[in-house]
Structures are given as structure tokens and as C-alpha cells.
Amino acid sequence: MSIDLKTIKHIAKLSRISIDDKKAKELEKDLNSIFEFIEALNKVDTKKVDPLTSIAETSLKLRGDEVKTKNIREQILKNSPDENKDFFVVPKVVE
């Protein structure tokens, strides 16, 4: 199976990464060689095998729903790429 240029562009869109045609062609080559290597897995019969989702196969522990840190608005906003120090700001999304 090979991944074509159209699929590469579709994956880039799903990944929210803009790529030009040159980059798309490079990725087509790289991803195909990586998937060729991955295809080896098809040789293994896994019909009767349960997937291993996590090494620690225990259910997550519950904890009380308590506030442990408060009044950290300034700390949270301090790394915001936008100058505004009251909110996170993004380009306008509604007309």
C-alpha cells in the first residue's frame, strides 16, 4: 500500500500543519518508506490477541474534586503570545 500526495495533503490538514507542494513530496517519500517498514506487522496473526492499551492496566484512582491552586490568572496568562493580559486572544472567528 502506498500513500499518495492527495492523502499527504489530507493528513497535513488533519494535523493542522500547512505544507507546500515541495514539502508534501518530501513527506510522501519519507512516509512511504516508514510505512513500508511498518507493514512487517501484517505478517503476525493477531486475531486472538487483546490490545495492550497501557502497561499499568489498572483503573484510574479517584480523588476529591478540590481546588488546590487559586488566583493564578496572571501566571496562566503570562506565556500568552498575545499582548493582552486579561484573556487569550485569537483571530476573529465570528463576523
Partner 1 sequence: MSDIINLTLSALIDKIKKKELSSQEITNAYIARAEKSKDLNTYITTDFENAIEKAKKFDEKGNFDCKLPGVPLAVKDLFCTNNLKTTAGSKILSNFIPSYESTVTQYLWDEGAILLGKLNCDEFAMGSSNETSFFGNVESPVGKKVVPGGSSGGSASALAAKLTPATIGTDTGGSIRQPASFTGTVGLKPTYGSCSRYGIVAFASSLDQAGPMTQDVSDAALMLDVISKYDTKDSTSVNFKRGDYFKSLSSNIKGKKIGIPKEYRVDGMPKEIESLWQDGITLLKKLGAKIIDISLPHTKYALPAYYIVAPAEASSNLARYDGVKYGYRSEGENLISMYENTRSEGFGDEVKRRIMIGTYVLSSGYYDAYYLKAQKIRRLIKNDFDEVYKSVDAILTPSTPSSAFKIGDKTDDPVSMYLNDIFTVPVNLSGLPAISIPAGKDKNNYPLGLQIIGKAFEEQNLLDISYSMEKELNFKNNLQDWWIK
Q: Which residues bind partner 1 (CB under 8 A)?
A: 3, 7-8, 11-12, 14-19, 27, 30-31, 33-35, 37-42, 44, 46, 49-56, 60-61, 63, 72, 75-76, 78-82, 88, 90-93
CB environment 31-40: b (16+ within 10 A), e (fewer): beeeeeeeee
Residues whose CB is less than 8 angstroms from the CB of residue 1 and which lie 6 or more positions away in sequence, other chains included: 35, 39
Query: Cβ 85 to partner 1, closest distance in Å?
Result: 13
- Residue pair 7/15 in contact (Cβ under 8 Å)? The answer is no
d(CA 50, CA 56): 15
Q: Are 12 and 24 in contact (CB under 8 A)?
A: yes
Least CB distance from residue 25 to partner 1, whole Å? 13
Closer Cβ to partner 1, 56 or 67, answer by number: 56
- Least CB distance to partner 1 at residue 60 (A): 5
CB of 22 to partner 1, least distance (A): 12
Choice between 41 and 67, CB closer to partner 1: 41
